[in-house]
Amino acid sequence: MAMEAEARPIIAALGAVETDCAPPLPAKFFVARVLDCEVVVAINGRDPRHDVDSIGTEAAALTTLEVVRRFSPDVLISAGTAGGWQSKDARIGDVYVSRGEFVHHDRRIAIPGFDAYGVGSYPSVDTAALAEVLGLKQGIVTTSNSLDENDDDRRMIAINGGDVKEMEAAAVAYVAELAGVPMLAVKAITDLVDHHTATAEQFAANLAMASSRLAGELVRVIQFLMGSDESPVGNRRSTS
Amino acid sequence: MAMEAEARPIIAALGAVETDCAPPLPAKFFVARVLDCEVVVAINGRDPRHDVDSIGTEAAALTTLEVVRRFSPDVLISAGTAGGWQSKDARIGDVYVSRGEFVHHDRRIAIPGFDAYGVGSYPSVDTAALAEVLGLKQGIVTTSNSLDENDDDRRMIAINGGDVKEMEAAAVAYVAELAGVPMLAVKAITDLVDHHTATAEQFAANLAMASSRLAGELVRVIQFLMGSDESPVGNRRSTS
């Protein structure tokens, strides 16, 4: 997760306890047990130069590498808040799980081969059963390092079919695929990209509510991944 | 360095030998001795999904973290090819060293505090003496994940004063600052951003020549950093 405010409700819900940090990264790790599995909540931590949460793809990639090396996870979840589109029936507070591929919409590299690398297209685990059982929406998650959306972004998103717009998931998915770890995203909607109110304003107004909604659904997602015969990453309870 | 084609001439010039890789990253490391110091040429490696060099900020951040942890460098250099501007007297084949700060021009986050985090502004070591002695140009290096430049990019670059446009340096500088390692960039110009020919076309035409020029100047920069009383990172030859 990128922001401490996004992570606080799930850390509390799981009763997760902070463990060793990972210098020189500012990332923090909180560990809990759910059923008989270990759950690690990793956040990117506070940027020492700018004293804000380390959002965006670089911090997400670095934290994910650290998580992969330190905890050897069976599954990675990129969790947090995101934008959605009214035109695609998103509402503030909706919780989406990823489907299809994770894509970037701000890496335009017009050289054959590099164009596809720019988009990324890293796989999500199949969340169809999870979404149906838990009553969650499914969407393609599209990532950039900007909170806003300009004409180039709009053009790229129109091509990649993005339903959920945020700033980290494709970077987590990139490292997850390198490491061979199954990965999905769970994202709560704080703002509507196609609403007349500025994204930053909607985000500030809805961050606490969306993070609380996120925590509730994350607990259900984690329990499903561990306990269900339909879990896309295997039944952890019976195999651990 | 991001691309193998950029790195090949300097690997050859130093007689650097490949050493262990760093799974799950595709990064590669080549080690040489220059005077009595170890020089590591790190390249981001080939992306396994798209079979192209791993360019851009995520791969650069990951490789830099690996270099910092594995080799504990005294100084980091982000080296490679870049775009320049005719309006700022850049010519194809020019080699620039970084000055001032490393900035991003594609991270627009309109929330107080996060806006500055988006730009980054990580320090370059002072290259004034190095540039003067070696006869190299100095410039502010500005980074994005796109080869092209759109109106938002242009607006951000106008504000940050960028002279050299490329796709990795600010990510290297970000991790370098986290790790407390002095850092500079050495960049050879392959394309003129304000020329009517498309960037990708200029880049392809000039990559080999610029990489060769880069290698020649990199050797001189490394020797200066190690051997000069004016070295911004201390006289490595006398202190090692």
pLDDT tens column, B79-108:
999 999 999 999 999 999 999 999 999 999
* Diameter over CA atoms, chain A: 49
Residue A145 has its nearest CB partner, among B24, B54, B107, at B107
Catalytic annotation present for B168: no
**Nearest CA among A64, A65, A44 for reference residue A54:** A44
- Tokens 């670089």 locate to A58
Residue B98: predicted pLDDT: 98
Catalytic annotation present for B47: no
Measured between beta carbons, which residues in chain B are less than 8 angstroms from residue A50?
Answer: 113-114, 116-117
Please answer yes or no on whether B177 and A151 come within 8 Å at the CB atom: no
Sign of the alpha-carbon torsion through A197, A203, A208, A213: positive
pLDDT category at B229 given cuts 50, 70, 90 is confident
Does this complex have an ipTM over 0.90?
yes
Q: Looking at the domain assignment, is residue B234 inside a domain?
A: no
Any idea what the CATH number is for the domain that residue B195 is in? 3.40.50.1580
- How close does chain A come to B57, measured CA to CA in Å? 7
Catalytic residue, candidates A177, A191, A194, A229? A191
Measuring CA to CA, how many Å separate B139 from each of A76, B89, B97, B136, B165?
Answer: 40, 11, 6, 10, 10
Residue B65 has its nearest CB partner, among A55, A62, A171, at A62
- How close does chain B come to A186, measured CA to CA in Å? 21
Measured between beta carbons, which residues in chain B are less than 8 angstroms from residue A71?
Answer: none
Write down the mean pLDDT value for chain A: 95
Cα angle B140-A50-B184, degrees, rounded to a multiple of 5: 30
Percent of chain B with pLDDT over 90: 92
- How close does chain A come to B123, measured CA to CA in Å? 11
Please answer yes or no on whether B104 and A145 come within 8 Å at the CB atom: yes
Q: Determine the Cα–Cα distance for residues B190 and B187; give it in Å rounded to an integer.
A: 9
- Range A111-130 burial, b when 16+ CB lie within 10 A, else e: beebbebbbbbbbbbbbeeb
Q: What is the pLDDT of residues B138-166, one digit of tens each?
A: 999 999 999 999 999 999 999 999 999 99
Pick the residue from chain A with its C-alpha nearest to B168. Answer: A58
Those residues whose C-beta lies under 8 Å from the C-beta of residue B196, and which sit 6 or more positions away, are none
Please answer yes or no on whether B150 and A150 come within 8 Å at the CB atom: yes
pLDDT category at B240 given cuts 50, 70, 90 is very low
Q: Looking at the domain assignment, is residue B237 inside a domain?
A: no
Q: What is the pLDDT of residues B210-227, one digit of tens each?
A: 999 999 999 999 999 988
Measured between beta carbons, which residues in chain A are less than 8 angstroms from residue B174?
Answer: 58
Please answer yes or no on whether B24 and A61 come within 8 Å at the CB atom: no
A with B: how many residue pairs have Cβ under 8 Å apart? 139
Measured between beta carbons, which residues in chain A are less than 8 angstroms from residue B52?
Answer: 113-114, 117
**Nearest CA among B10, B38, B11, B43 for reference residue B25:** B43
State the total domains in chain B: 1
Q: Determine the Cα–Cα distance for residues A41 and A189; give it in Å rounded to an integer.
A: 20
**Nearest CA among B126, B108, B125 for reference residue B117:** B108
Q: How many CB atoms lie within 10 A of CB A131?
A: 20
Domain hosting A76: range is 4-239
Mean pLDDT of A203-224: 96
Measured between beta carbons, which residues in chain A are less than 8 angstroms from residue B122?
Answer: 49
